[in-house]
Amino acid sequence: MPVSTDTQPPTGDDVVISGIAGCFPESENVYEFRDNLFNKVDMVTNDGRRWKLDHPDIPARTGKLRNVDKFDASFFSVHYRQAQGMDPQCRMLLEKTYEAVVDAGVNPSLLKGQNTGVFVGTSVSESEQAAYYDKIQNNGLGVIGCSRALFSNRLSYWLGVHGPSYTLDTACSSSLYALEHAYRAMQAGLCDSAIVGGSNLCLHPHLSLSFYRVGVLSREGICRSFDRDASGYARSEAVCVMFLQKARDAKRVYAKVVHAKTNCDGFKEEGITFPSRLMQAKLMEQFYKECCINPTSVDFVEAHATGTKVGDPEELAALDEVFCKGRQTPLLIGSVKSNMGHSEPAAGLCSITKVIISMEHGLIPPNLYFSNPREDVECVRAGHFQVVTEEHPWKGRLASVNAFGFGGANAHVLLQINEKEKVNGGAPVDPIPRLIVASGRTKEAVDVILKDVSRTSRPVDVEYVRLMHDLQSLDIVGHTYRGYTLLTQDGRRVRSLKFYPGSKRPVWFVFTGMGSQWPGMGKSLLKLPIFAAAIEKCHQVLEPHGVDLINIITSEHPKMFDNILNCFVGIAACQILQHNLVSTIKVHNKVLSDLKLITVLQCSANPSGRAL
């Protein structure tokens, strides 16, 4: 097996994950999901949010999303009658697509007309009966709202993108298959970027009953991945979306997709639902030969590991054959299904989300419900694996994600951590205040964003500030509230939030008179490049006439402005700065014309709090 040659950070045509969004059981977003993982929260619950339990063969515990009935139809240009007949998965995919694109620092309007592909992995739609066969509800809109082809096509339609757009169903490996298709399409030049989604909702008890009778569900509703007492999995819900870009285009990089590959078991004497260690191992062997990576250099494997009697042993045997030959230490493995249940077609992206969380925070979240290693698997008895049951330091570069569907569709993805270090850790190298601008559908939405970035416990990150500036460089249609906050190094925060009526704001130039000057009034503002350049230009003009402008606006001598000439020259120079700033600084593609920004900048430089 060749030694790893992929040691460079992503560059050029490399495919990277630049945006991510999702909702998971008891987790509204990736941040809550992260906290639940690290806090060892069992996200599978026993309650009647979906149906009233009235059958002994339907497990009581499932992983459930919150607010599946909420949808801002007008924002996504969906008629309210269409929204009522739309599968909740489709609605939530729209929401999470918007969040993933924004998370990448990309204004969604910039994708219109672009060659962006959309690949969605999903399986059974539990809304079909109401959409197609209920005579009362069947007004024709159900076909458009619940057809799984529209899960992807609706995203392409809303964004106005022209790349490949289709939905894949390979059962439990669907979303990882979708990512593999996106990766291949970008490599082949079929699209320049890609949206990859995965979704699963458990809306009807009859499907759970069917899975239980097939023999894959745990009666107790606990997924004991890798454990001797594993008896099946708990069904779970999730909607997750990732935005893939070429490295040269990405403003943010969570991980590089080193390689992705799929295959199928084909015929098996044991039956179509029986997993094949032979074909899984063959897939992984071919995989690492193709990308010239030695499997021993992979530091962590996020396994499929649903906790079934047959699936786990077959997968562990395949992993052992590929990853453990020549390995000096046990291979670290885990499965997010122990924490949140099995989200079936969405499971692959949930696993990738866990891996990205590990890379971002330097810790691998712990598995739940692992007490006794399986004794029926030789490689487990030999100690070839270490299941992560407590927070474990992330020390490596590479992580693999494995998945297989119950029809024999196998998928494998290799991710590389983004090793690029932020300059100065992202902290400013100067004391200049940083402006954060935000827009949203509601006042509360903007308020949450501004409060989050304004927390005194959160250090100023100039790269994040730039990402926000890029995102807000153009209007986001439908955002009716706007606000800004000014972050200073000493922890002071200035914040404003207003309703935006959509009309263009007028430009006002306010020129102050005599009496507003104070010693050293321009000293701090010289740190602003725009100000410094304007002052230097004025200084060069005045210097031949014996006027030292830089000394006038920076000197703190109490009698500097006893000379009326110094007052006139100093104030006029600062007025020129003000004009330059108003002409240069734009918020939401419009000049911040009320000069509040100028005021707060000047107040931050003036200890007495006065503005010019």
Active site residues per annotation = 172, 304, 342
Give 102: exposed, middle or buried? Use CB within 10 Å, 0-12, 13-18, 19+.
middle
Write down the residue that tokens 């005021």 correspond to.
599
DSSP readout, 492-514?
A: -EEEEEEE--SPPPPP------T
Strands 15-23 vs 255-264: parallel, antiparallel or unpaired? antiparallel
Three-state secondary structure readout of 188-244: CCCCCEEEEEEEECCCCHHHHHHHHHHCCECCCCCCCCCECCCCCECEECEEEEEEE
CB 569 within 8 A of CB 547: yes
Q: What are phi and psi of 139, to 5 degrees?
A: -110, 15
CB 394 within 8 A of CB 357: no
Q: If we measure between CA atoms, which residue out of 407, 344, 91, 340 comes closest to residue 202?
A: 344
CB 293 within 8 A of CB 454: no
Radius of gyration of the chain measured on its C-alpha atoms? 29
Interhelix angle for 149-159 vs 88-103, to 10°?
Answer: 40
What's the rounded Cα separation, in Å, for the pair 449 and 323? 43
**What six digits make up the tokens of 291?**
């990308």
Residue 467: count of CB within 10 angstroms of its CB: 18
Q: If we measure between CA atoms, which residue out of 311, 234, 302 comes closest to residue 273?
A: 311
Q: If we measure between CA atoms, which residue out of 267, 261, 300 comes closest to residue 281?
A: 261
Give 187: exposed, middle or buried? Use CB within 10 Å, 0-12, 13-18, 19+.
middle
Residue 430: count of CB within 10 angstroms of its CB: 9
Contacts of 70 (CB under 8 A, 6+ apart): none
Contacts of 341 (CB under 8 A, 6+ apart): 25, 43, 44, 61, 62, 63, 221, 223, 233, 234, 235, 236
What's the rounded Cα separation, in Å, for the pair 550 and 547? 9
What's the rounded Cα separation, in Å, for the pair 85 and 137? 8
Dmax (CA) of the chain:
100
Neighbour order of strands in the sheet with 238-246: 165-168, 116-121, 193-200, 238-246, 15-23, 255-264, 409-417, 398-404, 300-302, 331-334, 385-387
